[in-house]
Amino acid sequence: MVKRHKNVFLTGDLHLGDAAFRDEQKLVNLIKQDTFDCVVFGGDTFDSWRGTSEKDLVARYDQLFKFLQKLKSKVVFIKGNHDPNIDFLKKLGFSVRKRLKYVGALGERVRVIHGHEFDDDCARWEFLAKKIVYIEEKLNRVISRFDHDSIVRMARLMGDVDIKRIWKNFHDRTKYYRNVDALLFGHLHTPAEGVKGKVKYYNWGGWQKDYSLNPRYLVHKNGKFSNLEVK
């Protein structure tokens, strides 16, 4: 049975384990600011590619996860391409999905996916990408000792090549989502919104202060979607 939610907080692409993630307290405070009946992390919550397991990252970011455990059944984690092995979160009381469907306050049908479904090269280049990300993280750990704000992004060079292709795939495949009113996804780390056919779409961007962008999140409340920025 598809659940109905009136007030949803949604973000994604936190990439816990990345040196660029530094806003744990801000994330907790944002979720505390309203009475959300559903809190969704839309994939790539973790980044085990960087050398630390998801279980160890839960222990490292204990402030966030101790808070989320108070909400338990309201929290949904979507599996992203960087964190497919997160079923252990079910033992902590959370819901873990490949995708999420729910109905909003005004009856709008919503689908949430991570977004790598539109990235055909994702699986093809995964082995190489993991190696690059691992090396990138080691460099960033050293750099952050001297300059807290500087981040090396070797992986970005690969991502930029396919951004246009991913968006083309998205536009070509929205016909598969014609039975929903809104499609929410991430993966690209770049916020966007628009309409394709009869489907409204929203990309939450990413949580990291990265690529010269501030952390982003979506709120779906009383039938309205808001794409918001954290200053």
Residue 120 tokens read as 């055909």
pLDDT of 12-63, one tens digit each? 999 999 988 888 999 999 999 999 999 999 999 999 999 999 999 999 999 9
pTM over 0.85: yes
pLDDT, one tens digit per residue, over 83-100 is: 999 999 999 999 999 999
Tokens of residue 194, six digits: 């628009």
Q: What is the mean pLDDT of residues 147-175?
A: 78
Domain membership of residue 142 as a residue range: 3-229
* CATH value at residue 104: 3.60.21.10
Beta strands 216-221 and 224-229 are antiparallel
User: Would you say residue 112 has pLDDT above 70?
Assistant: yes
* Number of domains observed in the structure of the chain: 1
pLDDT for res 147: 80
CA angle (208, 76, 71) in 5-degree steps: 95
Question: Which of 1, 86, 40 lies closest to 204 in space, CA to CA?
Answer: 40
Task: Give me 138's structure tokens.
Answer: 């080691």
